[in-house]
Amino acid sequence: MRRWNGWGQEETHYPLPDIALRFLQNALGQGSQIPDANIDEILAIIPTSRLWDAPWITTDPETRLRHARGQSLPDWIALRSGRVGIFPDGVAYPNSDEDIQEILEFASESEIEIIPYGGGTSVVGHINPLSETKPTLTVNLSRMNQLHDLDTSSQLATLGAGICGPDLEESLNQRGYTLGHFPQSFELSTLGGWIATRSSGQQSYYYGRIEDLFAGGHVETPLGPLHLHPHPASAAGPDLRQVILGSEGRLGILTRATVRVRPLPQIEQFFGVFFRSWESGMEALRQVAQADIPLSMMRLSDPDETETTLLLSGREHLIDWADRGLKLFGYDPGRCLLIFGVTGDPKVVSQARSRAQSIFRSHAGLPAISLIGEMWRKSRFLSPYLRNTLWELGYVIDTLETAVPWQSVQKLHKEITSSLRKVSSEMEHRIHVFAHLSHVYRDGASIYVTFIFPRDPDPEELLHQWQVLKSSASEVILKGHGTISHQHGVGCDHAPFLPTEKGSVGMATLAALCKKLDPEGILNPGKLLMDSSDIPGRGR
């Protein structure tokens, strides 16, 4: 059973090692372990649905609760405190394009707002109902989850947009193929959600981001169906796939997608390398990327994340080796850990690893014991469960991310992390901040920042603390000409910052697209564009 107020399945846990708990308590103080709201208490206050009966709608209170919020920190605060706010009035489970056409017609005739729903893993408010004046219907696409076609000669697969990551990979793996798209939310997120938010998988360096994999598909809009044929290339005007990518349910409901797949790799391995400094590690990554060496992943942790990663391993002998063994070779506390992956056939893998390691060595990169790469592989989708553990111990964890050209990476990394520490200090709160480069490109890299701080007993105060931290970091990102989101999308939380990035002409273009394809504004209003005067404050 999936948790209703946290991440993932109820039976899965990520225990915090004692050494990591002691570190957090020393750095942040003792956490406040406050009881959470009981699900029965929340179910008792859910208002009566404003929708009338229809064969494909359920107004069951628990179903509505489970679709009311996503996985952002404001969502967690709302669910754990019992102050959920607005609930969808019902949830629809379509089985076909025809069902969705009927739902859109029903919404138009009845002045109902529609929220497309994939895996509910959004961390920026994509799936939250916002309107208190109009009924909201959440459209859960989980039944549209089949593999419709696999064209092995073209290496194209067509699947229902509601298929989740593990089921997608299983359906392809059984036939000898893979999509290779592995975001950290892989366990729960869906193909349609990846496309709607321009997702990036952990091995996008090899397989490509979702915009590289999305070849075509089918979208149901209030104006009628939009079919995107999977042309290998086209000069027939602007590419409408790019309009749907990142559209966050504002332009239509994606029902199926055709994606570019590959044969399963013969080899996939992950390794660790220590660098003496953040600067030397970054320079090594830049040179590898610009040499077009076909690794599948490079993830460089800054010194604070490197220490945190070792602590979370819970392997005190490994930490002792890092502290004593590395220092013998001059790798002091400024050391940084790189995890890199190799994927493909034996010859390509061997050559890529050899070329990359040559560059790493030229920057004093020291190979780590093989256990480190294997530890990362095993925990790559388990890490989100740490959020549950930390909350129950009295701490909260959140992330933010951006991407900039190489010349700006070091400066912006320092400014973001310094801003979070400065603002936290001004609020007289402790915070633990760390970061890594999660994706690299020839021209730049993404910066992924994580911060942990004690959970305030007052939900409103905790939300306020988060808002101050988030706003401060977002303003630093925009001032440094970073994108407001490299992989999480816009939703509600980034919508106030989007005009600075897109400019007035860009925002007018997006608004015109929404108006054209959704004249009545029934599709996910308030997401991507702040266009509704009755949107309440985020998380209230």
Distant-in-sequence, close-in-space partners of 213: CB < 8 Å, separation ≥ 6: 179, 180, 181, 207, 259, 260
Long-range contact pairs involving 529-532 (C-beta distance under 8 Å, separation at least 24): 529/250, 529/495, 529/498, 530/495, 530/496, 532/130, 532/131
Query: Which residues, 6+ apart, have CB-to-CB distance to 196 below 8 Å?
Result: 116, 118, 126, 244, 245, 246, 247, 248, 249, 254, 489
For the cut 70, the answer to whether the pLDDT of residue 422 exceeds it is yes
220 & 313 share domain: no
In a domain, 174, yes or no: yes
Answer whether 349's CB lies under 8 Å from 57's CB.
Answer: no
Residue 53 in this model has a pLDDT that exceeds 80: no
Q: Is 98 exposed, middle or buried (0-12, 13-18, 19+ CB in 10 A)?
A: exposed
Q: What confidence score (pLDDT) does residue 535 get?
A: 39
Q: What is the CA radius of gyration of the chain?
A: 23
Residues 283 and 344 both lie in one domain:
yes
Kindly write down the DSSP assignment for every residue of 444-505, as one continuous string: EEEEEEEEEEEPPSSHHHHHHHHHHHHHHHHHHHHHTT--S-SSS--TTTTGGGHHHHHHHH
Confidence grade of residue 533 (pLDDT, cut at 50, 70, 90): very low
Which whole-number Å values give the CA distances from 205 to 62, 66, 95, 343, in the listed order? Answer: 40, 34, 35, 11
Which band of pLDDT confidence, cut at 50, 70 and 90, is reported for residue 2? very high
Assigned domain for 487 exists: no
CA distance 416 to 401: 10
Kindly state whether residue 512 falls inside one of the protein's structural domains. no
Q: Does 341 lie in the same domain as 301?
A: yes
In the predicted model, what is the mean pLDDT of residues 507-519?
96
Q: How high is the pLDDT of residue 315?
A: 72
User: Quick check: 537 pLDDT over 80?
Assistant: no
Do residues 287 and 254 both lie within one domain? no
Dihedral pair phi/psi, residue 522, rounded to 5°: -95, -15
pLDDT tens digits, one per residue of 313-340 = 877 776 776 677 677 767 788 999 999 9
Residue 370 lies in a domain: yes
| Domain presence at residue 477 | no
The pairs formed by 16-22 with CB atoms below 8 angstroms and a separation of 24 or more are 16/312, 16/386, 16/389, 16/390, 16/393, 17/311, 17/312, 17/313, 17/314, 18/314, 19/311, 19/314, 19/316, 19/319, 20/308, 20/311, 20/312, 20/314, 21/393
pLDDT of residue 530: 86
Please give the pLDDT value at position 332.
80
Q: Is residue 506 part of a domain?
A: no
Together in a domain, 243 and 275? no
In a domain, 146, yes or no: no
Task: Mark whether 162 and 197 lie in a shared domain.
Answer: yes
**pLDDT tens figures, 449-472:** 999 999 999 999 999 999 999 999
Domain boundary among 233, 263, 293: 263
Question: How far, in Å, CA of 172 to CA of 266, rounded?
Answer: 15
pLDDT of amino acid 531: 67
What pLDDT does residue 457 have?
A: 94
Tokens representing 483 are 């994108």
- pLDDT greater than 90 at residue 343: yes
For 187-200, the pLDDT digits (tens) are 999 999 999 999 99
- What CATH number is given to the structural domain containing 349? 3.30.70.3450
Residue 534, pLDDT score = 38
What count of other Cβ atoms lies within 10 Å of the Cβ of residue 67? Answer: 24
Residue matched to tokens 């256990």? 371
**Range of the structural domain that residue 271 is part of:** 267-380
Tell me if 405 sits within 8 A of 274, measured CB to CB: no
**Where residue 131 falls among pLDDT bands split at 50, 70, 90?**
confident
Identity (one letter) of the amino acid at 248? E
Residue 539: the pLDDT is: 44
**Claim to verify: residue 177 and residue 271 sit in the same structural domain:** no
List of residues 6+ apart from 137 with CB closer than 8 A: 51, 57, 88, 89, 90, 91, 92, 103, 107, 112, 113, 114, 115
Q: What is the pTM of this model?
A: 0.95
Tokens 């194209």, residue? Answer: 156
State whether 209 and 307 are in the same domain: no
Predicted confidence (pLDDT) per residue in 377-419, tens digit:
999 999 999 999 999 999 999 999 999 999 999 999 999 999 9
Q: Are 169 and 240 contained in the same domain?
A: yes
Instruction: Report percent pLDDT > 90 for the chain.
Output: 89
Q: Give me the pLDDT at residue 501, please.
A: 97
Domain count, the chain: 2
Same domain, 343 and 366: yes
Provide the CATH number for the domain around residue 199: 3.30.465.10
- Is there a contact between 431 and 6 (Cβ–Cβ < 8 Å)? no
pLDDT tier at 371, thresholds 50, 70, 90:
confident
Amino acid at 538: R
Q: Would you say residue 426 lies in a domain?
A: no
